[in-house]
Structure 1
């Protein structure tokens, strides 16, 4: 019985490629710049790594490493093979990850900032769970941006310009920012008719590293008002803390409409003045390319579009 065309291709491919064991040893040694560390990573002896690389070099007919005193360096040919081997192994790893993910396609891992998760996502996400009870949700809340290419996050909801290298971004909505406080505080101080009057109040702020996030200095500057050098407002580590301080009558905070609208409707916060500023950036859902085909990702993105409209 003869070989098929597909069988011939496999045979030819195997003839062209070096043994996988040797290639694995070489990739580890090249990446770690050490036979010893490669041996430890692969769970073999250093002699085994040296032997596999020696077989590769005999097969190629030229050295892949320069053996120096207490270190190794890739030759020019070794560098080319290292890049190709690394790319190939990474591609295989990504496919394996995706195949495993398909088995647990009912689990969805979402990344969001603490404030967005607390004030916008969690109050609404029960509607998604009710419509799609088969999807298990996992929400990771942290203000530090995570690289989605290196983890198990399926999608992220981010505030910014929409330009990120680790995923495809789709805008959900823009926002506007205005002063807010508790109803009790507003009643006690009376109406605030102009933005310059705000400097006489304790201005609650939060520490945010994101340059696109608007603070009191930028907000007041839009009305040609400077922040007092010796302000008497509370300074918080997180935006959520600033909002709770405002709800408890500690002073005036900046309210991001999409985050505080529910609290205003519940009369837990009120707008202190009608002055507001449209944000320069917006909220986006960001999905890594390798997660675009995942069914639960597509369901959640569609739900986000509906509730954001």
Structure 2
């Protein structure tokens, strides 16, 4: 039969003492006495059945057992703290909790969010960037914004826009890219995105050019990292056009080819279908759709002007 879990007080005392290498500093951080910290550690060591710290004159050091236990518990402790802060945020007046992907948060939402805050200064806003698994989000939060193909159960869904794929790079990389060899698949200046490994194949098929395989170029974890790497001159990346609208307008990223390929995916707004919509949520959704309209108009105007290879 599993043993009862240690108290949260013991775990917090253990984590702080391990991080600060001091019971007294941990006591100051947690607003406790050093004696209370020492007692919590002793209780935890009794429960574990071995020493977690070596006591030295002015410091404490983790034992091998302590390092193992810290590695196994610190992630769970952070998740509990995050869950608590999320629930606290939901309980505030005019609270708005938005979940989205790191790329949408970094490249689209945050550059525009001050305009919402100016319109709603009393809003208590929490933005959580999470790597969704197969586009699945739990119901914690007021709204979620993610990519997919409208596959979410338990949510009201609104499509914000379709995703078109474009091949982009920094102006310097675009200028030195020889289009002929590039279209023949002869370049290693390629950035692949681990979370979207099919994007190059999809774009190449739509553009009618040979595919670039994973043994060519660099693989980065998510789109936010890939776009940042492209801006810094690491190579050519397949980007979701709307996500880099600001970079295209500013000229930090430019198209290396005119092909714009529909991905079959879209960005969607998700709301739990069992929850009444709050006033602040309604205001955020209206603002979001207005800002999306501005992005779409900007991209359409850019296309109408024929701005493509190497043009800002």
Q: TM above 0.5, one fold?
A: yes
TM-score (structure 2 length as normaliser) = 0.60
Change (3 A) 1:133 1:291: farther
Change (3 A) 1:167 1:232: same
The answer to whether the 8 A contact 1:184-1:249 is kept is: yes
Which residue number corresponds to residue 256 of structure 2? 272
TM-score (structure 1 length as normaliser) = 0.61
Change (3 A) 1:223 1:248: same
The answer to whether the 8 A contact 2:207-2:261 is kept is: no
Q: CA RMSD in A?
A: 3.0
Change (3 A) 1:220 1:307: same
The answer to whether the 8 A contact 2:155-2:271 is kept is: yes
1:110-259 aligned within 5 A = 110-145=98-133, 147-149=137-139, 151=140, 153-190=141-178, 192=179, 196-208=183-195, 214-229=198-213, 231-259=215-243
Counterpart secondary structure, 1:148: coil
The answer to whether the 8 A contact 1:178-1:256 is kept is: yes
Give the Cα separation in 1 of the matches to 2:91 and 2:227: 41
Change (3 A) 1:169 1:229: closer
Specify which of 292, 295, 303 is matched with residue 276 of structure 2. 292
Counterpart secondary structure, 2:147: strand
User: Following TM superposition, by how much is the alpha carbon of 1:200 offset from its aligned partner in structure 2, in angstroms?
Assistant: 2.7
The answer to whether the 8 A contact 1:204-1:235 is kept is: yes
Structure with higher Rg: it is: 1
The answer to whether the 8 A contact 1:194-1:273 is kept is: no
The answer to whether the 8 A contact 2:207-2:259 is kept is: no
1:1-16 aligned within 5 A = none
The answer to whether the 8 A contact 1:195-1:220 is kept is: no
Change (3 A) 1:102 1:177: closer
1:26-45 aligned within 5 A = none
The answer to whether the 8 A contact 1:177-1:276 is kept is: yes
1:2-48 CA distance string (max 9 Å, x none): xxxxxxxxxxxxxxxxxxxxxxxxxxxxxxxx9x99xxxxxxxxxxx
Which residue number corresponds to residue 19 of structure 2? none
Change (3 A) 1:279 1:232: closer
User: Following TM superposition, by how much is the alpha carbon of 1:201 offset from its aligned partner in structure 2, in angstroms?
Assistant: 4.5
Which residue number corresponds to residue 263 of structure 1? 247
User: Following TM superposition, by how much is the alpha carbon of 1:148 offset from its aligned partner in structure 2, in angstroms?
Assistant: 3.0
User: Following TM superposition, by how much is the alpha carbon of 1:197 offset from its aligned partner in structure 2, in angstroms?
Assistant: 3.7
Give the Cα separation in 2 of the matches to 1:103 and 1:229: 49
